[in-house]
Amino acid sequence: MAETLLITGASTGIGAATARLAAVAGYDLAIHYRKDIAGAERVAQDAKDAGVRAKLFQADVADPTQITSMFAGIDTTFGTLTALVNNAGIVDLAAPVTELSHARLKRMFDVNVIGAMLVAKEAVLRMQRAGKGAIVNVGSVASRTGSANEYVDYAASKAAIDTFTKGLAEEVAVQNIRVNCLRPGITDTEIHAKGGAPDRAQRLAHKIPMQRAGTATEIARSILFLLSDEASYITGATLDVSGGR
């Protein structure tokens, strides 16, 4: 029987690339999106073309009620869940800390931290019943660079994911559930445009030792490795996929 994988934020970017590679690897897919249904439908169709089951689930992960409804739908559709890529996240316009509002900070942490933790909680409950599981939390190298004068709030939210990964991994290791964090560096995806800087990946490429931004597919390959049995003795780890930065 195929493994069932939930990917949050799977309509574009790293989430979409991960879904497409996972489908080729044989995972049945629960494809989460918040707004971009057209992108999510394209990903689902590609997955079905690869010969696996794929179902769309719409939810705002900042709302715990919507998270609960999403998992109820996953239970009904697939019956089990053994893998999670906790990828949904947001960024805001570049700004120094002195310009950050309470509303912006609350939304950032509601989505990037609390939402991710609640999604992982629901996934773990199902993995405990299944007797196994693998989780990859998508963090960011911003958690150690700080993103001064741009995205300190985003960086702080991703630092919380680093710590959450380590703590959860130690809680569930004895239950045959692995939890790791994949920290992308500058990657050429749509997230930069959402942060008001569509050319950011190209503009900052000179700061990366490899002198280029990563691609969503390169990040996705590493996520699939951490999910796979090839990483069977890896848990509580944080892997930087960042071109050396």
CA distance linking residue 159 with residue 125, whole number of Å: 24
CA distance linking residue 177 with residue 168, whole number of Å: 10
Between strands 83-86 and 4-7, the pairing is: parallel
Active site residue 27: no
Catalytic residue among 27, 33, 151, 154: 154
Q: Which residues are known to be catalytic?
A: 154
